[in-house]
Amino acid sequence: MKIETLSVDFSDEQKRYLEGFTTGLQISRVGRGLGGGSKANAEPTGPEAAHIKAQDKVVAAGKKLADMEKVKREEHPFDAYPRLRQQALDDKPPSPADNFRWRYYGLFYVAPAQDSYMCRLRIPNGIVKHWQFAGLADLAEQLCGPFCHVTTRANLQVREIPFKNSAALIEGIQDLGLCSRGSGADNIRNVTGTPTAGIDPQEILDTRAYAREWHYHILNDRSLTGLPRKFNVAFDGAGKIAVLEDTNDIAFSAVEVKDGFGVEPGVWFRLGLGGITGHRDFAKYGDIIVKPADATKVSDAIVRAYIDTGDRTNRQKSRLKYVLDAMGHDKFLELVEARLGQAFTRVPAEALAPRPAFDRMAHIGVHMQKQQGLNWIGVALPLGKVTCEQMRGLAKIAQDLGDGDIRLTVWQNLLIPGVRDENVELAIAAIKAVGLAVEASQIRAGLIACTGNAGCKFAASNTKLHAAAIGDWCEPRVNIETPLNIHLTGCHHSCAQHYISDIGLIGARVPVGEEDTVEGYHLFAGGGFGPNADVGQEVFHDLKAEDAPQAVERLLKAYLAHRSSPDETFLSFARRHDGETLRRLADAEVSS
């Protein structure tokens, strides 16, 4: 159909209508196969039907679909793999549309930061076998940069992938029994769970089976791809190491339900919805509890309600949080209940027994397991980076001295579980022999950084470089004996969760003179997670990167000088003051 240009002066509203009208015709033609003899009003069918119907509603309302929605509709990424393979054979970069599509396979074209791909895996509950870990090291050494990064979703990613190696890498990952499918773009991302699941002496519930079930449910149902935006789900079994489940779209927190409240006593999940701390919000917990066996069914219903209601016009406002803000939790939950065919189980807060506290250093060093005579050893990785040689060494240690597993944490490090008491010192010596450590100061143990602008086009600063500088500068100058997290994130996506850290820094271009800018940060303090969940307050604005180490040093010295007692944590200290007061106290300190 061709619409002739009319010599009429339309109003802005009329122009928007025509734009939406013609765009809708074009999208319908592509999405439903119109123009080739198909029925114009055919009902969408197949795994993309719900997504097409949601897009149709947008167009019918005279609104404009976001560009990525058009890309998905024009050609589903999982139908385009032959072209990805051909691009690899031709050693060519992707088009902008294919750059988005290939993220469905876990591939991210990271130009202009690097003229190459990054690939992110899917590792449910963060657990890999020693032979998979070693195999990934061999694969990375052959096809990528010779290292891996542990991410803040207890996952692995490889970088510096030439275009010609992209398909071979994806297929090589699958050869190892691992997967990168759906780890990027508008999909349900890596499923996190308690890293010490099944071995933690204080856990309420072993999360492995639930994370695994949800993982395979996603992989084997194409209708759960192509959501309005990315989606995160986490399972916390109340072990010693925090999972940060309250930063996820769906949070399942294991709780002990007491007798006498009209429901079966025992272990349930408490349901939280809408976490997205980069947008300054945590998952909201009401009075809903879910039987662990029903977690996948409930998650599926929530995701499908989100497919129908998520914003497909503005990608900055398309996460579940914004559906809940606009619709209200109660109305959204009614949609979920309708899909489930039953009402949620609800109990008052007093029906829940107190959960055990996290140990903020349990991801580093030696810790006794619930199995007598066995231990997990937390290995400190420098800002999540591990070389291929170190990976093979760690895999050998896990095979010979542990139970054969390697467990990743959201704190950008890994655990070697199942080490017998008599082998602990041998394992520590072997870990040191590959150039890693099992000890870390409070500053180092909680130092987290995203990829930064060395490998991400969105980042404003080189976060890993600057985080290392902060650690190098502050560690010998400030003796911190209480838990401390320092997180650096490069952009508003907040991959390193800067808002929930004791000290959080977000990358910024800092003005210098009238026209120039340099790399820098806005610095926040007093963020927390779990029982202490809250967003930090800004202390320093437009802090040049070169000045960040000294600024953190002075802030920590102000804490030591003004804390109420030797036992007061930095978090408590920071929350006793507003941002301006913290800045004045820090400015009064002298950097050494």
Taking only the tens place, the pLDDT of each residue in 558-586 is 999 999 999 999 999 999 999 999 999 99
Structure confidence at residue 2 (pLDDT): 43
DSSP letters spanning 14-63? HHHHHHHHHHHHHHHHHHTTTTTT--TTPPP-STTHHHHHHHHHHHHTT-
Whether residue 28 is predicted with pLDDT greater than 70 in this model: the reply is: no
DSSP tag of 185: S
CA distance 18 to 232: 37
* Highest mean pLDDT of the ranges 30-39, 274-283, 303-312: 303-312
User: What is the phi/psi pair of residue 129, to 5°?
Assistant: -80, 155
Structure confidence at residue 591 (pLDDT): 86
Q: Tokens 């952009």 map to which residue?
A: 491
CA distance 286 to 273: 9
User: What is the phi/psi pair of residue 113, to 5°?
Assistant: -60, -45
Structure confidence at residue 152 (pLDDT): 94
Whether residue 63 is predicted with pLDDT greater than 90 in this model: the reply is: yes
CA distance 333 to 377: 41
Structure confidence at residue 14 (pLDDT): 62
Structure confidence at residue 3 (pLDDT): 43
Mean residue pLDDT across the chain? 93
Radius of gyration for the chain, computed over Cα atoms and rounded to the nearest angstrom: 25
Whether residue 4 is predicted with pLDDT greater than 60 in this model: the reply is: no
Q: What angle do CA 323, 152, 137 make, to 5 degrees?
A: 135
pLDDT tens digits along 256-282? 999 999 999 999 999 999 999 888 899
Mean pLDDT of all residues in 68-73? 96
pLDDT tens digits along 416-455? 999 999 999 999 999 999 999 999 999 999 999 999 999 9
Question: Which residues in 248-342 belong to E strands, given as ranges?
Answer: 250-257, 266-273, 284-290
Structure confidence at residue 494 (pLDDT): 87
Structure confidence at residue 42 (pLDDT): 77
pLDDT tens digits along 322-373? 999 999 999 999 999 999 999 999 999 999 999 999 999 999 999 999 999 9
pLDDT tens digits along 246-259? 999 999 999 999 99
Query: What percent of the chain is predicted at pLDDT more than 70?
Result: 93
CA distance 571 to 552: 14
Whether residue 294 is predicted with pLDDT greater than 70 in this model: the reply is: yes
Query: What percent of the chain is predicted at pLDDT more than 90?
Result: 89
User: What is the phi/psi pair of residue 535, to 5°?
Assistant: -90, 135
pTM (2 decimals)? 0.91
- Structure-model confidence comparison of residues 172 and 23, the more confident one: 172
- Structure-model confidence comparison of residues 3 and 233, the more confident one: 233
CA distance 572 to 563: 9
pLDDT tens digits along 504-536? 999 999 999 888 999 999 999 999 999 999 999
* Tokens read off for 475: 């560690």
